[in-house]
Structure 1
Amino acid sequence: MKRRDFIQLSGMGLGAMMGASIPVLGNMVPVEHLLEPGADIATKKRLADIALNATKSRGATYTDVRIGRYLQQFIFTRETKVQNIANAESYGVGIRVIANGTWGFAATSDVTPDGIAKCAETAVAIAKANAKIQKEPVILAPQKGVGEVTWKTPIVKNAFEIPVQEKIDLLMKVNSEAMKNGAGFVTSNLFFVNEQKYFASSDGSYIDQDVHRIWPTFTVTAVDKAAGKFKTRDAISSPMGMGYEYLDGLASEKISAPNGLIGYRNSYDMVEDAIMASKQAQQKLTAKTVPAGKYDLVLDPNHLGLTIHESVGHPTELDRVLGYEANYAGTSFATLDKWKTKSFNYGSKQVNIVADKTQPYTLGTVGFDDEGVPCKEWDLIKDGILVNYQATRDQVNILGENASHGCCYADNWNSVQFQRMPNVSLRPGKEKLSVFDMIKGVEKGIYIIGRGSYSIDQQRYNFQFGGQLFYEIKNGEIVGMLDDVAYQSNTQEFWNSCVQICDKDDYRTFGSFFDGKGQPSQVSAVSHGSATTRFNGVNVINTGRKI
């Protein structure tokens, strides 16, 4: 076996070991290759025009071309050792057309004039073959071409330019400090992604985008050998649409929280969090088990983001509502008949949830989606009422709208683009309210921080969520740590129990770096913002109870 093949297979194997949601896309390359410039804009425009002309001459009424170079660097460590470093590149062209009222798609890694012309011919041939069984023609919302434009994630430091040794040194320090402060085991990882995407369409758009994302994370484990117990605490970090400045303190911004906890916004001190995590994992070993019952919950943004993702983000995807995702991931309780009434109480009047692909530093933010639509913000839930969904150019006509929401995405040049979740966030409260003030008003409650295990049904309605850290609240004060906590509810009941939201000074984001959807499966990255939020009278169960 050649060394390159071994590295590629071992990288993929580790990705599988870490979970199927961590894909290494493309070919393994030397690290210095990640900094080599790709094709210039003039070359990409010339190649795109070859595809546009070839599909038009063969009867396509619409064409879009995506020339993509996708770069990844993933670093995995455990205690004193580097387990793996994966440097990957994927480069090619995807061509999507409408011919005879039907979609067709083809892709190629042969990025030459001849290779692109053949790919274009194939895309049209597939569309015409599909048209024989198409029942209704595709209806695209109009989209005016934007001409030649560029957009780039506003990074300060390109993570790929930072030497690998510097990144390893950071992870080794994270691991060392965690072990010094009581961790029995620790794993730490860095994920960096750069999407260099060129989009051209028969509408007259030529869009060049350079998208960067970063995710630092770890898990520490504390062990009580005498009792035969162990407890873990994951990083309280959020993946971001930023460069390496997220880790070097240039954008340092911390938010104080009760019990000496720290929230991070637009910056992250990985070493500081690892030290705190080790101490908290040890505290969890002796934490009191929770008595089951009804509690008022105070949910930190790093926790609430996942609940937003699962109970609001997914059920408002229009393709899921229409049943297109039923085979893979289920449908949605938020059906069209509920939306049509304009009075369906998804949540209380405090609940205002927006879809937004323009918010700075977030994972889903780009200038244009993968259909060339300028990105924007729009309401999903307004004053508690379901008012809209997430839709693409070929879906919005179902809603009676004539403009796409700009939430179309493909995870690679060889993947066909389709509706993917934009950033979905809960607006902060308008009145001045800190976490400390919120807790003062709680008589019997639990303050929950961090993402834990969860489950939710196929309609995104009945659910159960855990977390990383749980603190008991009595008569307005935190009195100690709890363990074995999970809360159960259904989506409508839960969001209608929302009574308070902290103001914009507490607003932070949570993120999902590898969110899966579709068949064949694709991944996307999406953020969810919120301030700390209070929900009254939620059912809490004890997950450690023996049955």
Structure 2
Amino acid sequence: MRNIAVRAINLAQQLGASYVDVRVMERTTEGIEVKNGRVEGVSSGTSSGFNVRVIVNGAWGFASSARIDEAEAERTAQQAVQIARASALVAGEPVRLSPLAAQKGSYRTPLQIDPFTVPLSQKVQLLLDADAAMRSVKGVTLTNGLMEYSRERKLFMSSEGSEVEQELYDTGAAINANAVDPASSEIQTRSYPNSFGRQAGTAGYEFIEAMDLVQHGVRIGEEAVRLLSAPQCPGGIMTVILDGPQVALQVHESCGHPIELDRVLGMEAGFVGKSFLTTDKLNGHYRYGSDVVNITADATIPGGLGTFGWDDEGVPAQRTPIVTNGIFTGYLMSRDTAPLIGLSSNGCVRADNWNRLPMIRMTNVSIEPGTWKLDDLIADTDDGIYMSINKSWSIDDRRLNFQFGVEAAYEIKNGKLGRLFKNATYTGITPQFWGSCDAVCGRDEWIVWGTPNCGKGEPMQVMRTGHGAAPARFRNVQVGVGRWS
């Protein structure tokens, strides 16, 4: 692989490139899905290739190929240079890169059990056993189980002298149970550990074993059935406690996306929208949330889906304060966007494959743990709603107005959990919502939740991001059908 990268860099420089980087990459993915007691599918695939990214006359050029040999390296480098020269004909500010010392080294995801070495029969049986536990509950009509794991090997080299190798693993799984009312055709679902795909992390098969999927099968089956006869969640202005997975998604949608600097600068406006966190707010005075809200972007958290050694520009993984005691303090940046606001890249650029242009993506954007225990937080709440696991969401293209629905909600009365409610939703405006946060649970209940399917760009790239979160309380929240302002 190294010979390919060296050949491409040398030729691109000879053709006039002021900067060149090359990524050579191989990704292997396997997946298992079961449905209603049967194996629905087993998939396995490997994709490999490389890309060349150059700056010529102040403009970017990018080209890629699945054919990995030295002749193709030269052809691809030449194509990237030609694209950059064509791009430079369009008037615009020349690309400037934030400084970066040459990087050398290697990184491998820490893991105890390589998921690719675990017998397929063992992994399938785990999902079938969890499926059987769900189906043992009378009234459950549809069950699903999913497991997916991947290994990504990549080499990054640049004309600045960087050379880093990485081997990244991600592993995850989830189950869900559905109950259907035959009279009304109403469907209710309960998921574990999370909805919309799976809970995943940069770890080995031990990550899946720790989920105890089989042990939770009966519980989520029973809850799905109970939801059919549960009353509708009441509406009004209420105190709300969100569980960890829901807080993680709230962070992802209403903080993670609006701090992507390319969105802020309008570079993604035509594809995924802009951001309300405009650059004039980065002055240490914009209040994003209450004093208890502290948010970081940290690519060094053990097990996070946004954890790595270096990003896809060769910038080392690092931790960046995003919101400090409620005050907005930072963005996710790349080497070519950071100089536009007088800063340097904080290592937030990734591509989902060898044939995709690297772009700003979330690392592990997390709300830092507070001091509460969940039981104490509920006991401290006289009247409210506890909401669990996301069911639906909608948010505007500036990431300001939002609505979320959850799978299940519980009444809180006099500091105790009460009735189960279905079809609970809440709405808000991002800074006001986070401004209403008055409590976050502590480190013991803080988990890095993985979001394995975040889409962005054109053509769309799917990226794996992580979000550390614990249950949190919000006051004066509009529950039920609310009005967006």
TM-score range, shorter chain: over 0.9
Q: CA deviation at 1:228?
A: 4.3
Number of the residue aligned with 2:440: 501
Deviations 1:445-486 (A, max 9, x none): 111111210111111111111112211001111112111210
Q: CA deviation at 1:542?
A: 5.6
Q: CA deviation at 1:219?
A: 2.0
1:171 equivalenced with 2:132 (yes/no): no
Secondary structure, aligned partner of 1:289: coil
Q: CA deviation at 1:218?
A: 2.2
1:91–1:413 contact (8 Å) kept in structure 2: yes
Number of the residue aligned with 1:101: 58
Number of the residue aligned with 1:539: 478
Q: CA deviation at 1:108?
A: 0.9
TM-score by length of 2: 0.96
Instruction: Pick from 325, 335, 338 the counterpart of residue 393 of structure 1.
Output: 335
Number of the residue aligned with 2:397: 458
Gaps of 5+ in 1: 1-43, 249-266
Moved more, 56-65 or 285-294: 285-294
Letter in 2 for 1:138: V
The 1:134/1:274 distance shift into structure 2, 3 A limit, reads: farther
1:201 equivalenced with 2:162 (yes/no): no
Separation of aligned partners in 2, 1:283 and 1:53: 65
Secondary structure, aligned partner of 1:458: coil
Number of the residue aligned with 1:373: 315
1:364–1:526 contact (8 Å) kept in structure 2: yes
Query: Structure 2 matches for 1:218-237, cutoff 5 A?
Result: 218-226=175-183, 228-237=185-194
1:335 equivalenced with 2:281 (yes/no): no
2:411–2:420 contact (8 Å) kept in structure 1: yes
Number of the residue aligned with 1:26: none
Q: CA deviation at 1:534?
A: 0.6
Deviations 1:313-358 (A, max 9, x none): 0011111111111111111111112223x21111011111001100
Q: CA deviation at 1:176?
A: 0.9
2:130–2:213 contact (8 Å) kept in structure 1: yes
Instruction: Pick from 141, 153, 158 the counterpart of residue 98 of structure 2.
Output: 141
1:347 equivalenced with 2:289 (yes/no): yes
Instruction: Pick from 354, 366, 375 the counterpart of residue 413 of structure 1.
Output: 354
Deviations 1:99-128 (A, max 9, x none): 111111111111011111111111111111
Deviations 1:141-177 (A, max 9, x none): 0111123x11010011111222222211111111111
Aligned-pair identity (%): 36
1:158 equivalenced with 2:100 (yes/no): no
Secondary structure, aligned partner of 2:201: coil
Letter in 1 for 2:308: V
Query: Structure 2 matches for 1:112-151, cutoff 5 A?
Result: 112-147=69-104, 149-151=105-107
Separation of aligned partners in 2, 1:465 and 1:188: 24
Secondary structure, aligned partner of 1:186: strand
Letter in 2 for 1:310: E
Letter in 1 for 2:57: N
Separation of aligned partners in 2, 1:305 and 1:201: 35
Number of the residue aligned with 1:259: none
Letter in 2 for 1:417: P
Deviations 1:232-278 (A, max 9, x none): 11222421111111122xxxxxxxxxxxxxxxxxx311112222110
Number of the residue aligned with 2:207: 246
Separation of aligned partners in 1, 2:165 and 2:465: 21
Number of the residue aligned with 2:388: 449
Instruction: Pick from 289, 298, 306 the counterpart of residue 364 of structure 1.
Output: 306
Query: Structure 2 matches for 1:272-311, cutoff 5 A?
Result: 272-311=215-254
Number of the residue aligned with 1:87: 44
Letter in 1 for 2:335: R
Q: CA deviation at 1:223?
A: 2.9
Secondary structure, aligned partner of 1:88: strand
1:284–1:481 contact (8 Å) kept in structure 2: yes
Separation of aligned partners in 2, 1:529 and 1:86: 30
Q: How many residues align?
A: 477
1:466–1:486 contact (8 Å) kept in structure 2: yes
Deviations 1:2-33 (A, max 9, x none): xxxxxxxxxxxxxxxxxxxxxxxxxxxxxxxx
TM-score by length of 1: 0.85
Deviations 1:383-402 (A, max 9, x none): 1111111110001112211x
Number of the residue aligned with 2:35: 78
Secondary structure, aligned partner of 2:253: helix
2:178–2:187 contact (8 Å) kept in structure 1: yes
Number of the residue aligned with 1:20: none
Deviations 1:523-543 (A, max 9, x none): 100011122111011010169
1:102–1:134 contact (8 Å) kept in structure 2: no
Instruction: Pick from 407, 426, 445 the counterpart of residue 367 of structure 2.
Output: 426
Number of the residue aligned with 1:529: 468
Letter in 2 for 1:364: G
Deviations 1:355-407 (A, max 9, x none): 11000001010000000000100111111111111110001112211x31101
Letter in 1 for 2:107: W
